[in-house]
């Protein structure tokens, strides 16, 4: 698995990936020291998985079965792709935690190249689910929250790039 980004969201995704059984996590970040620090924390968590900090995205993407973008690249206010399109292989799946917009350039390119994709919708909804639980002590209606998020996305003006000014 190739994880792009080692900030707060990247750390959460890294722990979740390892917890879900990923055997080898290839980790990269524009700030190499941040990637190295996260790899160190992950290694001290006691798992049997291998965590490697990588610099060569071409070599890392060639080894990966999946790629997760946990960087802000692709957000409405930071358009673009965190990895070159020609590194996306059809046998590799691609996930993006960016949820504004849901359809990022990375996901569009990945689909065009035959990759299976996963948008950041789950990231948005399940952050809200957990926040609701923490703030209220109540279990929210997850399906209702998913529907509200979907309605929010479909009601937005495509020219709108954020949640307001």
97 and 110 share one domain: yes
What pLDDT does residue 43 have?
A: 87
43 and 107 share one domain: yes
> Where residue 70 sits, what CATH number does that domain have?
3.40.50.720
Question: Structural domain of residue 130, as residue ranges?
Answer: 123-155
**Looking at the domain assignment, is residue 146 inside a domain?**
yes
81 and 150 share one domain: no
Q: Look at the chain and report how many structural domains it folds into.
A: 2
Residues of the chain predicted below pLDDT 70? 46-48, 153-165
pTM for the model: 0.88
10 and 65 share one domain: yes
What's the DSSP call for residue 4? Answer: E
The full DSSP string for 26-83 is EEE-SSHHHHHHHHHHHHTTT-SSEEEE---HHHHHHH-SEEEE-SSTTBTTB-S-SS
**Looking at the domain assignment, is residue 22 inside a domain?**
yes
**Looking at the domain assignment, is residue 162 inside a domain?**
no
**Looking at the domain assignment, is residue 59 inside a domain?**
yes
What pLDDT does residue 154 have?
A: 67
Q: Taking the CA of residue 51 as centre, how many other CA atoms within 13 Å lie in the half-sphere pointing to its CB?
A: 25
85 and 135 share one domain: no
What is the β-pairing status of strands 66-69 and 93-96? Answer: parallel
**Looking at the domain assignment, is residue 90 inside a domain?**
yes
Sheet containing 93-96: which strands, arranged edge to edge?
Answer: 50-53, 24-28, 2-4, 66-69, 93-96, 117-118
């Amino acid at each position: 698995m190739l994880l792009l980004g080692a900030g707060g969201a990247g750390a959460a995704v890294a722990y979740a990936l390892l917890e879900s059984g990923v055997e080898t996590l290839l980790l990269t970040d524009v700030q190499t020291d941040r990637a190295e620090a996260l790899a160190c924390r992950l290694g001290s968590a006691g798992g049997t998985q291998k965590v490697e900090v990588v610099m060569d995205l071409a070599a890392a993407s060639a080894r990966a079965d999946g790629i997760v973008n946990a960087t802000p690249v692709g957000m409405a206010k930071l358009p673009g792709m965190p990895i070159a399109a020609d590194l996306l292989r059809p046998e590799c799946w691609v996930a993006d935690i960016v949820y504004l917009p849901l359809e990022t350039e990375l996901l569009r390119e990945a689909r065009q190249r035959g990759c299976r994709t996963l948008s950041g919708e789950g990231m948005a909804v399940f952050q809200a689910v957990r926040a609701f639980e923490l703030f209220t002590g109540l279990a929210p209606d997850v399906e209702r929250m998913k529907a509200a998020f979907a309605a929010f996305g479909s009601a937005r003006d495509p020219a709108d790039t954020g949640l307001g000014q």
